[in-house]
Amino acid sequence: MENGARAYSTDAYAAALIVLPACLLVGLLSATMVRETYCRPQR
């Protein structure tokens, strides 16, 4: 801690930011699998 604030290494930031592109890919893949129903009831 420096002056009461946590100090993280650049490796810690890099490891945390790897999660963002992974979530982006999961979100894009999920969005392509959603089917548009145009508000019609589905059986």
Print the domain residue range for 22. Answer: 1-43
- Let me know if 30 is exposed, middle or buried by CB neighbors in 10 A (0-12, 13-18, 19+): exposed
Q: By three-state DSSP, how is residue 5 classified?
A: strand
Q: Most distant CA pair in the chain: distance in Å? A: 61
Its pTM stands at 0.57
Sequence-distant (≥ 6) Cβ neighbours of residue 1 within 8 angstroms: 7
Task: List pLDDT tens digits, range 1-43.
Answer: 778 888 999 999 999 899 999 999 999 999 999 988 888 888 7
Give me the pLDDT at residue 23, please.
94
> What's the structural domain count of the chain?
1
